[in-house]
Amino acid sequence: MEDEEGYMALSIQPRKKHKQNPQHQEPAFQRKYYTDPLEEPVVPQGRINDTENNSRLKNIISRLQEFMCKIPQNKLTESFRCKLCPENWLRLENKCYWVSKIQATWQMGQEDCRAKGSQMLVIQKQEEAAFIQSISEEAQLLWIGLMTTFPLGKWIWEDGSPLDENQSEALGPVEANSCGMLNDGKMIAESCSTVTSWVCEKEAFDLSSN
């Protein structure tokens, strides 16, 4: 209808909301879960139990062992140890080793190893020194995790263990700002500010069957 000034007056009433019948709601177990395809699927709690999770985990480990490890034929009757190293690292028994391609001071080498989640080489047996020399290509001088402490004036490894007394005597008198270095497989003392390559080490990842 029009008012006195000729304008059309509209009567607009709010739309009533219809209550949804609870009987028509989709049952919880039929509801769909939508996720980003790049994300992990959302799984309702209780849908996968611990037994299924353990089974899937064992299957993944088994496939990794088959792909990454050389499993002996008698693996069913004899346990084996499958040790893995990161890319560009080389393994000797239970450790992984990495030799730098650039040169720097001892302290910079130490910082680089720590940034890689490792430490500078701590030699525990002569086989390690020989192995490092064999993989170092043209690098003849290599920083290792050996340093001096003052005022005690002793050689210690980066992990806090002391250097063997016989090896300490071979290095000669302890001087300030001295660090350990491998020279053709033998340990020598050198100024920590000298620039050369270095060696990092870390424990190998154990992907064994048991």
pLDDT score at 17: 53
Q: Which CATH architecture group holds 83-206?
A: Roll (3.10)
Strands (E), 29-153: 83-84, 90-92, 95-99, 119-120, 141-149
- Positions of the chain with pLDDT under 70: 1-49, 58-68, 70-81, 139, 209-210
Please choose, from the candidates 42, 94, 46, the residue with its C-alpha nearest in 3D space to the C-alpha of residue 204.
Answer: 94
Q: With CA atoms as reference, report the closest residue to 99 among 79, 121, 77.
A: 121
Distance (Å, whole) CA 88 – CA 3: 88
Domain range annotation of the chain: 83-206
Length of the chain equals 210
For 188-192, which contacts have Cβ atoms below 8 Å and span 24 or more sequence positions? 190/141, 192/105, 192/106, 192/107, 192/147
pTM for the whole structure: 0.64
